[in-house]
Amino acid sequence: MTMAIGVTVFVVGLIVSVMLHEAGHFLFARRFGMKATKFFVGFGPTLWSTQRGETEYGVKAILAGGFVKIVGMTELEPVAEEDQPRAFYRQPAPQRAVVLAAGSVTHFLIAFVLLLVIFSGTGLTQLSTTIGGISPCVPEGESTQCAAGAPASPAQEAGLRPGDRVVSVNGQPVEEWSDFVEATQASAGSPLALVVERDGGPVTLRPEPVERTRGGEAVGVLGVTGELTQERVGPLTGLGKAAVGLWEFSRASVLALAAIPAAIPDLLDATFGDGERSPEGLVGPVGIGRVSGELLQADIPVLGRVADLLALIAGLNVFIGIFNLLPLLPLDGGHLGVLLFERTRAWLYRLFGRADPGRVDLNKLLPVAYLFLFLLIGLSVLLLFADIVNPVDIPL
């Protein structure tokens, strides 16, 4: 049931994001006096529609996107004589640029709002400096099971208890759980001078970490786990953190886009050969939907699961926003690129006293647009097949 809820939230979030994307185009087009005749969610056969003024609103059968029909988006389509003054291509370049960019900007705004909700609303799941659990033993290697007759863990022997708040280690104050972990891992075989707060007062203990191999490295281990808490910040601090988060998501999205060509051979090998899918490789909507369901099943506080799901939707919005700005037709970024080229060329011609050569002949760009669409559809089908037959195992 939880899995189904997570997948449903992801799908609904994606559909709402698409609707808001198209609403961005639509509202600015209307604001600048352009004529928009259709506003639809989905593609294919129409399931429902209604006419309101000059615009038809509706839902189509395939909920894999959406579109707004703005009269005269290109000179390739016929425009009635009475609609010529309101045709998109007849409007000033700055207004056309705003309409084209509005969709991607909307995705960034969605992500920013979701990040603000996470930082100042649900809070981030953090390990506090409070002991959450004590292991009865410290298993060898990567095992998590205690063998029969295994010695007690150093934490248990030293008398540590759940609820103890770590104050200092070897005289150094502990501000974060990672401070405690680093001191422990560096002290295999050497007793720690550990001060914890218990029942409102300080208690000094001297546990001795044992050496164990973790992640291929020999480190000191006590056998304790930290307590998970939800860390919230005020609205003003949340605005700053949301801005930083938006930047980090944007940076990660750019890197992910740049890595797509190199990741395709690995995806083909994992889908049709003997390779394994990497958690850092390409994942399609089906795979992301499955991950969203698994997020709500994770063994963390409920608000933490909600925050992780919102972060997933925020990150996806940033990726879509940046992808849509790629200078390739028929993406909005492609139309923006053509507009920028036209305005730059016109400026250069004026600089040298020559007449404006006019608009770019889009017929010459159609083969490139068709090639891009062919490659995009092919990659989408490949990802769909891969997510079904060989789903990626993403650690949560």
Tell me how far apart the terminal alpha carbons of the chain are, to the nearest angstrom: 19
How far are the Cα atoms of 31, 200, 370 from residue 193, in angstroms, in the given order?
68, 19, 68
Q: 376 or 64: which carries more pLDDT confidence?
A: 376
For residue 305, the model assigns a pLDDT of 83
Residue for token pair 């036209």: 342
Q: Band the pLDDT of 144: cuts 50, 70, 90.
A: low
Average pLDDT on 186-197 reads 90
**All domains of the chain in start order, with CATH:** 2-35+71-113+314-389 (no CATH), 125-231 (2.30.42.10)
pTM of the model: 0.83
Is the Cβ–Cβ distance between 249 and 237 less than 8 Å?
A: no
Enter the tokens of residue 281: 């490789």
The rounded distance, in Å, linking the Cα atoms of 297 and 315 is 20
Amino acid type, 163 = G
pLDDT digits (tens, 9 = 90+) for 80-125: 889 899 999 899 999 999 999 999 999 999 999 999 999 999 888 8
The rounded distance, in Å, linking the Cα atoms of 34 and 72 is 9
Q: Which residues contact 299 (CB under 8 A, 6 or more apart)?
A: none
Percent of the chain with pLDDT strictly greater than 70? 97
The rounded distance, in Å, linking the Cα atoms of 253 and 111 is 13
Annotated active-site residue 22? The verdict is yes
Is the Cβ–Cβ distance between 304 and 332 less than 8 Å?
A: no
Q: 28 or 229: which carries more pLDDT confidence?
A: 28
The H or E element that residue 317 is part of is helix 302-324
CA 26, 29, 32, 34 dihedral sign is negative
Average of per-residue pLDDT values in the chain: 88
Is the Cβ–Cβ distance between 338 and 365 less than 8 Å?
A: yes
H and E: helices and strands count for the chain = 9, 10
The H or E element that residue 14 is part of is helix 2-31
Average pLDDT on 255-275 reads 86
SS3 content of the chain, % helix, strand, coil (to 5): 50, 20, 30
Enter the tokens of residue 232: 């919230």
pLDDT digits (tens, 9 = 90+) for 250-261: 999 999 999 999
Q: What backbone phi and psi angles, to 5 degrees, belong to 234?
A: -70, 165
pLDDT digits (tens, 9 = 90+) for 307-332: 888 999 999 999 999 999 999 998 99
Of 22, 54, 75, 227, the catalytic one is 22
Cα 175 to chain centroid, rounded: 29
How far are the Cα atoms of 73, 334, 367 from residue 362, in angstroms, in the given order?
11, 11, 10
pLDDT digits (tens, 9 = 90+) for 210-220: 888 877 788 88
**What is the SS3 assignment for 44?**
strand
Question: What is the widest separation between alpha-carbon atoms in the chain?
Answer: 92
Is the Cβ–Cβ distance between 59 and 41 less than 8 Å?
A: yes
Of 50-59, 221-230, 298-307, 358-367, which gets the smallest average pLDDT?
298-307
The rounded distance, in Å, linking the Cα atoms of 325 and 365 is 17
Q: What angle (nearest 5°) sits at the alpha carbon of residue 231, between those of residues 226 and 236?
A: 160
Cα 294 to chain centroid, rounded: 15
Enter the tokens of residue 286: 């089906």
pLDDT > 60? residue 395: no
